[in-house]
Amino acid sequence: MLNKYARAFFTRVLTPFAAFLLRRGVSPDAVTLIGTAGVVAGALWFFPRGEFFWGTIVITLFVFSDLVDGNMARQAGISSRWGAFLDSTLDRVADGAIFGGFALWYAGKGDDNILCAVAIFCLASGQVVSYTKARGESIGLPVAVNGLIERAERLVISLVAAGLAGLHTFGVPGIDVLLPIALWIVAVGSLVTLGQRVVTVRRESAEADAAAAEASVQESAAVQESTATGNENAARGSETA
């Protein structure tokens, strides 16, 4: 949902910056790589240490590269399959680092095995949710469904909660509870989204298989009719001779 509306807004906002980078000779692939490196470094340096506020600030600065690189490619007219592949692949790396950072905190100084497991589930389910769509599309299905919690929602919910929870170190009481709540929301929402996509792929595949079977039957009937007509014409020709 957020991906549908927020992406269009931020694309317009970041267009001048994308044009500036192009004029400086920066390539979209370089922006993708630098952005991912920044997200990974911010997540794996700050989050395991419990520095959620500063980690969120660093990650947020770099996470917008996901919008800038595509904008640059469109402006330069160099959109490619390679660029799309690189972008999608590194998105998974960045997501893994963010939730991996949460898991490392709860496995260490955070000292909460349940929340560590929830963070790992968020990491894994996010990867599988993305895979189900990619796999469905690879076998020719549209996978036409807007899931409850997609990548944009996962990032916004978890990062906003982490940033606010980080204010606990500045003396704001009780606010650190927001991160556990956010992780549970992302975990449950990702599970629902996975179910939505699996059900959609099952329905679309059944419809596609039924359509293919019907087309095959019609083609077979047409061939049989053509053969019968040919035999009939041949028989008439023999009688005439």
Is position 95 annotated as part of the catalytic site? no
Report which of 88, 110, 87 is spatially closest to residue 162, judged by C-alpha positions.
Answer: 110
Q: Which of 29, 66, 91, 95 is catalytic?
A: 91
Tell me, what DSSP letter sits at residue 171?
T
Q: Determine the Cα–Cα distance for residues 168 and 150; give it in Å rounded to an integer.
A: 28
The C-alpha R_g of the chain, in whole angstroms, comes to 26
Q: Determine the Cα–Cα distance for residues 179 and 205; give it in Å rounded to an integer.
A: 38
User: Are the C-beta atoms of 105 and 48 separated by less than 8 Å?
Assistant: yes
Tell me, what DSSP letter sits at residue 175?
G
13: left (phi over 0), alpha (psi -120 to 50) or beta: alpha
Report which of 96, 107, 110 is spatially closest to residue 177, judged by C-alpha positions.
Answer: 110
- Which residues are known to be catalytic? 91
